[in-house]
Amino acid sequence: MAPGSISSSRVPTLSQLFSSISFGPLSLPNRIVIAPMCQYSCTDGLANDWHRIHLGQLSQSGAGLLILEATAVLPEGRISWADLGLWDDATEAALASVVASVRQWSPMPLGVQLGHAGRKASVNKPWEGGGAMDPSDPRAWPTVAPSALPFAKTDPTPTELDLAGIDAIVDAFAAAARRAERVGMDLIELHAAHGYLLHQFLSPLSNRREDEYGGSLENRMRLLVRVFDAVREAVSDRIAVGVRISASDWVAGGWDIEQSTTLAHVLDARGCQFLHVSSGGNDPRQQIPLSPGYQVPFAQAIKAHKLRMPVIAVGLITEPSQAESILRHGHADAIALARGILYDPRWPWHAAAALGDSVAPAPQYLRCEPREARGVFIAPER
């Protein structure tokens, strides 16, 4: 065999994990999604060389889709002062430069998660203690929310959004979506999970409004539905648009799987092209029983309603056999990895080897195929 050539002695199996899937117009070569993970590494919302390194590495992982971290649609919508943004020409140009670098070397589809942190904005970086910044800190800013209720009792009280403020946020999501398409994204995920603004409107624990955005489930869903419609209208049909939700607040009387299922039907009817199902983050009283795949039952319950859109499961999915089982049993249509793929950026390679399947790495990496996994690599298409 010539140096650098690849053995074809192994016939790949037909795993579910490495079968193709489509999110609306976007076709993926496999069902491994890299979930958004905040990097807290920006100044004034600008993407930089850290993002080239970080995203460049993940774009060589063999996953089917890479979704960029939570990206603020307004400066005051950042989670921390060091968050990525997409709200003006400068942030658009910086992200476009990073995306161009990644695309030069990787064909992996790219998405971005657009969000607004609401009352959970203006916090310190996790490795600097996390939590709300002192209002006297020059990097801090006032927060907004559906109701004047802080996330934690010690947090500054947010300002309740008026109707004009709500309209401005809808417009900001649409504007950021247009920028995302110009940057070259294939997919947009709306962040309605983890206790951030759109989730805050959904949950009766954080939304005590008495107008058309509060009270009934229909009213509490109104902002997310408006944002989805505005984003869908703002971008072309080539862009897949979906939503990430927290299926449960894990607190009695809060947002739950029944309300999540109703929301899923509403979004599905409006043309949502995927639903990414997480949980928690909206109330510090949450009690989450962590265990492998602990959030998968939420995805399974929603998928059981036979929606048109694919459902993505996430949360402590760490083993290839576990991911394959989730798909084979029909509990979800795709699986998402977050911390696990930071720890093992070649997880998809290793999963393909474990499942007897194959991946197409960059040609620069073909010669590293292990002897014990001959056939796991296939040459990428020219």
Q: What SS3 string covers 226-264?
A: HHHHHHHHHCCCCCEEEEEEECCCCCCCCCCHHHHHHHH
User: Any bridge partners for residue 80, and if so which?
Assistant: 123
Element (H, E) at 144: strand 144-145
CA pair distance 314, 190, nearest whole angstrom: 16
Phi, psi of 261 (to 5 degrees): -65, -40
Token pair recorded at residue 350? 């290793």
Using DSSP's 3-state secondary structure scheme, residue 91 falls into: helix
- The answer to whether the CB of 62 falls within 8 A of the CB of 348 is yes
Q: How far is CA 11 from CA 15, 21, 154, in A?
A: 12, 21, 59
**What value does the CA radius of gyration of the chain take, rounded to a whole number of Å?**
21
Note if 365 is an active site residue.
no
Contacts of 88 (CB under 8 A, 6+ apart): none
Pairing of the two strands 32-34 and 26-28: unpaired
**57, 232, 368 from 363: Cα distances, Å:** 15, 36, 10
Q: How many CB atoms lie within 10 A of CB 13?
A: 11
Options 196, 213, 294, 343, the catalytic residue: 196
Q: Which residues are catalytic?
A: 196
